[in-house]
């Protein structure tokens, strides 16, 4: 029997979790989270993890399942999530993938290229170069080692440049050679639902959610993680701004405003990313009946 993975995605703060839970209950199914930060058990408030009540309504996977101290990435997520999905499809015909982490969703829907694990000594060496020589030194080295990727990468994105250099230095090959850009075959069909709304309304939603996070104790949660601030996993909106406040470089009020601004910027990035996917069917969050009917129609048409 044909199996279906229903993807519920969209910008931060739009209401993906709520819609996913409603649909999973309606279709008597389970949810696989596609949020690259909700996966970490040390983060709760700043990552907007579903409440205990919401988690009790529908079985969720990849929520608080790993630690921020782990070297976790989209490639590992693909391996673990696909294995889980195949097991769950023994019992279900429909499953829900809910989240807004772009690479995590692509990892499940398209597959990502197999990138080798980077040893600590190479990672530390590149980090040291970044600290001492700055981003420009990394750009120049990347241009020499992999001119093709240099032309394609966002030259302001230090994380991507660092990762590409790490692969080049480890393998002696270009990072481009690992980016095959071919979709991996899946045993299930994928139906993609995108949630969005008026930009001003979305920005208000995001600002209000940040205010709620502050009220619920985000500052204390960030302070408890301050000693881990140098981990790449902690380079997360809602935490890094408070880390700067704890370091004394900005005020608390500035930290809160930066969290709101950076969350809005991330939302715009998500919208742009998913808008480029022609397979995504867009709805507003309140159009639950329309979403449900669309899913049913897609299944029936098969």
Note the pLDDT tens digit of each residue in 221-264.
999 999 999 888 898 999 999 999 999 999 999 999 999 999 99
Q: 139: domain range?
A: 120-178
Same domain, 25 and 151: no
Same domain, 104 and 192: yes
pLDDT for 25-38, tens place per residue?
A: 999 999 999 999 99
pLDDT for 170-179, tens place per residue?
A: 889 898 887 6
Same domain, 190 and 284: yes
Q: Which residue has the higher pLDDT, 114 or 87?
A: 87
pLDDT for 180 beyond 90: no
The tally of domains found in the chain comes to 2
Same domain, 213 and 128: no
- Of 71-80, 151-160, 167-176, 212-221, minimum mean pLDDT range: 151-160
pLDDT for 193 beyond 70: yes
Q: Determine the Cα–Cα distance for residues 103 and 258; give it in Å rounded to an integer.
A: 24
Is the Cα dihedral 166, 170, 173, 177 positive or negative? negative
Same domain, 82 and 167: no
CATH classification of the domain holding 174: 1.10.20.140
Hey, what are 85's tokens? Answer: 């999905």
* Section 96-110 average pLDDT: 94
CATH classification of the domain holding 253: 3.40.50.300
Same domain, 23 and 108: yes
Tell me the average pLDDT of the chain: 93
Choose the final residue of a domain: 131, 157, 178: 178
Reported confidence tier of residue 149, pLDDT bands at 50, 70, 90: confident
Q: Determine the Cα–Cα distance for residues 233 and 68; give it in Å rounded to an integer.
A: 6
Same domain, 194 and 106: yes
pLDDT for 113 beyond 90: no
pLDDT for 181 beyond 70: no
CA distances to 53, 129, 162 from 59, in Å: 11, 44, 37
Choose the final residue of a domain: 163, 178, 193: 178
Same domain, 211 and 93: yes
Choose the final residue of a domain: 161, 178, 195: 178
């Amino acid at each position: 029997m044909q199996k279906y993975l229903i993807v519920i995605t969209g910008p931060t703060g739009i209401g993906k979790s709520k819609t996913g839970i409603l649909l999973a209950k309606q279709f008597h199914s389970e949810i696989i989270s596609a949020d690259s930060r909700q996966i970490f058990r040390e983060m709760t408030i700043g990552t907007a993890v579903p409440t205990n009540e919401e988690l009790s309504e529908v079985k969720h996977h990849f929520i608080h399942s790993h630690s921020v101290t782990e070297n976790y990435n989209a490639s590992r997520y693909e391996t673990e999530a696909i294995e889980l999905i195949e097991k769950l499809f023994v019992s279900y015909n429909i499953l829900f993938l809910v989240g807004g982490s772009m690479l995590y969703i692509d990892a499940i829907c398209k597959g990502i290229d197999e990138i080798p694990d980077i040893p600590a000594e190479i990672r530390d060496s590149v980090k040291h170069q970044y600290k001492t020589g700055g981003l420009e030194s990394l750009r120049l080295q990347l241009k020499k080692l992999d001119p093709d990727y240099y032309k394609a990468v966002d030259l302001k994105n230090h994380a991507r440049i660092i990762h590409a250099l790490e692969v080049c230095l480890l393998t002696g090959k270009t990072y481009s050679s690992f980016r095959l850009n071919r979709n991996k075959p899946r045993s299930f069909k994928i139906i993609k639902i995108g949630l969005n709304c008026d930009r001003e309304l979305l920005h208000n939603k995001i600002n209000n959610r940040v205010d709620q996070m502050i009220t619920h104790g985000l500052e204390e949660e960030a302070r408890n993680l301050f000693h881990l601030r140098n981990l790449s996993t902690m380079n997360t909106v809602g935490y890094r701004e408070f880390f700067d406040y704890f370091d004394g470089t900005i005020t608390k009020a500035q930290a809160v405003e930066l969290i709101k601004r950076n969350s809005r910027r991330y939302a715009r990035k998500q919208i742009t990313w998913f808008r480029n996917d022609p397979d995504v069917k867009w709805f507003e969050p309140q159009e639950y009946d329309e979403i449900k009917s669309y899913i049913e129609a897609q299944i029936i048409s098969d």
